[in-house]
Amino acid sequence: MLRHSAPIFAALGDETRLRLIAVLCAGSAMSIAQLTAGTEITRQSVTQHLQVLANAGLVRDVKVGRERLWAFEPAHLEEARRALDAISGQWDQALSRLKAMVEE
């Protein structure tokens, strides 16, 4: 599970990509022009960031006529959440063992 989640965490480790995911989560599929509107980020930069997110399975592109729209794909993010839950559970168990040792 962790091996499959590593590319997701790597992709989300960048502030720009995290912002793109937040924008795409809040609405419907968007074009590069829509994603760059009101920002100082170039279309080329956004395209590269979206490709990293797509490689991690977090977004997909859809061709609508001559336009290419980008949409959020929640399935892989859910997989990463499950990985974090597993790590959290292991951490809780380790803390419980430490507490038991200290109390003995």
Q: What residues does 9 pair with on adjacent strands?
A: none
Q: Region 58-85: what's the mean pLDDT?
A: 87
Architecture of domain 2-103: Orthogonal Bundle (1.10)
Are 71 and 34 in contact by the 8 Å Cβ rule? The answer is: no
- Note the pLDDT of residue 2: 58
Closest C-alpha to 4, from 83, 87, 86:
83
For the entire predicted model, the pTM comes to 0.75
Q: List the chain domain ranges.
A: 2-103
Are 89 and 82 in contact by the 8 Å Cβ rule? The answer is: no
| Predicted confidence (pLDDT) per residue in 13-67, tens digit | 999 999 999 999 988 899 999 999 988 999 999 999 999 999 999 999 999 888 9
Binned at pLDDT 50, 70 and 90, residue 1 comes out as low
Cβ burial, residue 80 (10 Å; 0-12/13-18/19+): buried
Question: In this model, does residue 81 exceed pLDDT 60?
Answer: yes
Are 75 and 57 in contact by the 8 Å Cβ rule? The answer is: yes
Q: Which residues contact 14 (CB under 8 A, 6 or more apart)?
A: 49, 52
Q: What is the DSSP letter of 38?
A: T
